[in-house]
Amino acid sequence: MEDCIFCKIIRGEIPCFKIYEDDSVLAFADINPISDGHTLIIPKRHAQNIWEIPEQDLMAIHRASKKIASAIKRALNPAGIVVLQLNGRGVNQVVMHYHLHLMPRAQDGPELPVSCWELKKGDMDRIKEISEKISSEIS
Ligand code: 5GP
Ligand code: ZN
């Protein structure tokens, strides 16, 4: 895609700190890191989101995520790593080229806001009804 910022990174028109590359994916450091080691993994073929991305590219990204998460573990010995991926402007996806975030939390680092929420008991009837609605749409 001509105007896509991540496609420009893939084409080398915008620089990045490359962490990993193979035929299908590129991984590089996020320029606004939520924590040290914050890494983005993207497909080389442009797709906006989970609905658009071909399964093959999705698998390639997740294969790479295991490799890179292992490298982060060895390199930084974090307390843990959040794996996060946003789909749609309604959930604050900013760059409309599919990307998987790997966000390590340092041993003595602050809680990551994306991995910290209050647990409130749900309404079981509502959970059941919504689960059935979703599963009936699985093809
Ligand atoms: P999201 O779309 O999931 O909200 O996040 C987009 C992410 O891309 C942000 O974490 C942002 O810091 C990162 N980002 C945006 N533009 C660039 C860029 O030009 N280079 C790099 N390395 N990261 C970027
Ligand atoms: Zn793109």
Whole domain around residue 39: which residue ranges? Answer: 5-136
Looking at residue 1, its pLDDT comes to 86
42 secondary structure, DSSP code: E
Per-residue pLDDT of the chain (139 residues; tens, 9 = 90+): 899 999 999 999 999 999 999 999 999 999 999 999 999 999 999 999 999 999 999 999 999 999 999 999 999 999 999 999 999 999 999 999 999 999 999 999 999 999 998 999 999 999 999 999 999 999 9
CATH code for position 78: 3.30.428.10
How far, in whole angstroms, is CA 133 from its chain's centroid?
26
Q: Which of 84, 95, 98, 112 to mutate to test the pocket of ligand 1 (most atoms within 8 A of CB)?
A: 95
User: At residue 44, what are phi and psi to the nearest 5 degrees?
Assistant: -70, -30
Provide the token pair at 32: 């606004």
**Ligand minimally distant from the alpha carbon of residue 88:** 1
Beta-bridge partners for 102: 39, 83
Provide the token pair at 11: 């084409």
How far away, in angstroms, is 120 Cα from ligand 1 center?
31
Atom of ligand 1 nearest to the CA of 99: 3
Looking at residue 99, its pLDDT comes to 98
Distance of alpha carbon 84 from alpha carbon 23, whole angstroms: 23
Number of domains in the chain: 1
Residue 75 Cβ inside 6 Å of ligand 1? The answer reads: no
Number of H helices, E strands in the chain: 3, 5
